Structure 1
C-alpha cells in the first residue's frame, strides 16, 4: 500500500483542499495532486471529483476514509509511545483500573511514592472492567484491576481484594443513628443501585428477596463512585464498595455496616507471559499494604473508634 499517498489522501479530506493539505504536509500543491493520482491508479477508481479546480470526495473516498482513520489511530498510538520512550526510556508503567479503585485508591498509593526521583512515569487510565481486560489482551496495559465477573481467559491473574459492601447515607439521615443497617431499613427510603447486570447488584437483589422486601429504587448507575456522589447529594441511600466509600468519609457521606454479606471482588491481572519490572513488583506490594491499611481504617470508623463521619 502507498502509505505516503494515504497520508496525503487523509490530509486533503480532513483539511478541505489540496492547498491546505500541501501547507499541512510541507509539500507543493502539484506534489499533492501527483500523490492523489497515484493512489487512484492503485485503487482502480476515482476518489475525487474535480469541479472548477476543487476536489470533492466520492462516496468511495468517504468509505475509505473511515478505514484510514482507524489505521491512523494506531499510528498515533505508536508515535505517542515513541515520544514517551524518548523522554522516559522504558521506565513507564501502564495501569488500567476500574473506577472503584482507580479514582481514589490508586492515587493514594501513588501519592506515597516519589515518582520523579525514581525516574518512572505511570499511565493511570480509568475505565470499565471489560475495557481493562481488552487493554491487557492488546498489550496496552501492564497491570489491570477489574471486577471478578470479567473473563480471565488469556491473562495472568490473582485475587487482589475481596470485601463486604457498606451502607452509605446522606448526612443527618435517620438511619445514621444506627450502627447496623438491615434490608428492611433500606427498603423504607429512596434506594440507589448498581446496574442490574452488575454482580453485586444481583447479589443484593437476592438479599432483598430473601428478606421479603422490595427497595424503592430511584437511580441505577454502573459505578459505586456514582452511588457515593448521589448519596452525598441526598438522592437516596446505597450499599457500596467500601474502598470507594473511603474517599467520601470527609465529604459528608455517613458509612454504616450492612447486616448482610454483600461481596465485592477485585482481580489483579497482567498480560500472559510478560514479566513485571522491579518497580511494578514493588508497587504491587505497596498496593496490598495500602489496601490493608485502608480497610483497617474503615473498620475503625464502623466500630466508632474513628469518628470521621460525625
Structure 2
C-alpha cells in the first residue's frame, strides 16, 4: 500500500495557476506592438534577457502557446493575437480611468471643455487656446472637434462647456452669440496669375482649376450656389472635407479656392489672398448652456476667440491692401 500523502497528490494535480503578473502582460503587449523583443524591452526600459524571461514565464504560468519561434524571432500565434485583443481592451479602460483621475484632480483648478467645428480645429483654435491659457495658467482645457450638428446637443448635455458652430441654434436652453463674420476670400498659390488682381470675381474663375469643399459642408454649399447663380464654368480638380487639406493643396499649386479667412490660419504665408466679390458672408457663433457651470471662463474664452479672429484677419488684410 502506498504511503504517499493524498493531500500532496491533490495539491499536485489541482494546483492553481499563478496570479497574472502585470509586468508579464506589459512586455507581452509591447512585443505585439513593437515587433521584436529588443524593441519591446527598450519601450519598457528593461533588458532583453529580462523581457524574454517574462514572456517565457507568461506562457508557462498560463499554459498557453502565445508565440512561435521563427528565425530567431517570436511570432504571435492565434492564441497570442486573441489574448492581445483582450489586453488592449483592458489597457484602453485603464487609460480612461487615468484620464478621469486627471480631470478630477484638475477640477479645483478650473476646467473648460471646448467644442469646435473641424474647420476651425487647427491653427486658429490653437492660437486662441494658447492665448487664453497664458491669461489663465491654472485652467485645464479640453478641445474636442465633433461635427457641427452635434455641438449644440453636447452643450445641452454639458459634455461641452462652450461650442463654436456655423448654424443658428434654436433651443431656449442654449445661448448663442456672434463670434466672427467675414466674406469668403479667394486663395491661390504663390505666383498665380489671379494674384495680379486686386479683387477676384466669378468670371475670373471660369475654367480655372478649383479646389472645392464637399458640397455637404456649409462653405461648400455657399460656393456651389454662387457658381450656379453666376453660371461659372467650374473646373473642380479636387474636393476636400477638411479646410486644412484644401488649403495645403492650394498652397502646393493645385488650384484656387474660396474660404473663410480663419481657415487660412497656419498657411497664410504659403498662399496669396484676395477679396472676392460679390461677397459671400460666412459667420461663426459661440454657444453655451444658459445655466452653464463655467460662465466666467466661457465668457473669457469667447472674448479671446473674437479678439484672435479680428487680429488675424486684420493682419491678413495687410497682404492685399
- The interval holding the TM-score normalised by the smaller chain is 0.5 to 0.7
Unaligned runs of 5+ in 1: 1-10, 16-65, 302-306
How many residue pairs are counted as aligned between the two chains?
Answer: 281
Q: Counterpart of 2:113 in 1: which secondary structure?
A: strand
TM-score, L = length of structure 2: 0.64
Verify the 8 A CA contact 1:104 1:247 in the aligned structure 2.
Answer: yes
Verify the 8 A CA contact 2:132 2:301 in the aligned structure 1.
Answer: no
CA distance in 1, matches of 2:279, 2:188: 17
CA distance in 1, matches of 2:183, 2:111: 33
CA drift at 1:243? 1.3
Equivalent residue, structure 1, for 2:263: 244
CA distance in 2, matches of 1:204, 1:85: 45
1:73-222 superposed matches below 5 A? 76-86=95-105, 89-113=108-132, 115=134, 118-125=137-144, 127-130=145-148, 133=151, 136-137=154-155, 139-148=158-167, 156-159=174-177, 160-222=179-241
Distance 1:131 1:264, change over 3 A: same
CA distance in 2, matches of 1:155, 1:221: 34
Verify the 8 A CA contact 1:179 1:257 in the aligned structure 2.
Answer: no
Equivalent residue, structure 1, for 2:300: 282
CA distance in 2, matches of 1:99, 1:215: 26
Which shifted more, 108-117 or 164-173? Answer: 108-117
Equivalent residue, structure 1, for 2:82: none
Equivalent residue, structure 2, for 1:267: 285
Verify the 8 A CA contact 2:112 2:142 in the aligned structure 1.
Answer: yes
Cα deviations by residue, 1:34-60 (Å, 9 ceiling, x for unpaired): xxxxxxxxxxxxxxxxxxxxxxxxxxx
CA drift at 1:309? 6.6
Which shifted more, 279-288 or 265-274? Answer: 265-274
Equivalent residue, structure 2, for 1:59: none
Verify the 8 A CA contact 1:167 1:181 in the aligned structure 2.
Answer: yes
Distance 1:229 1:152, change over 3 A: farther
CA drift at 1:178? 0.6
- The CA RMSD measured in Å over matched residues stands at 4.9
CA drift at 1:119? 1.3
CA distance in 1, matches of 2:190, 2:308: 27
CA drift at 1:213? 2.2
Distance 1:155 1:267, change over 3 A: farther
Unaligned runs of 5+ in 2: 1-25, 31-84
Verify the 8 A CA contact 1:133 1:146 in the aligned structure 2.
Answer: yes
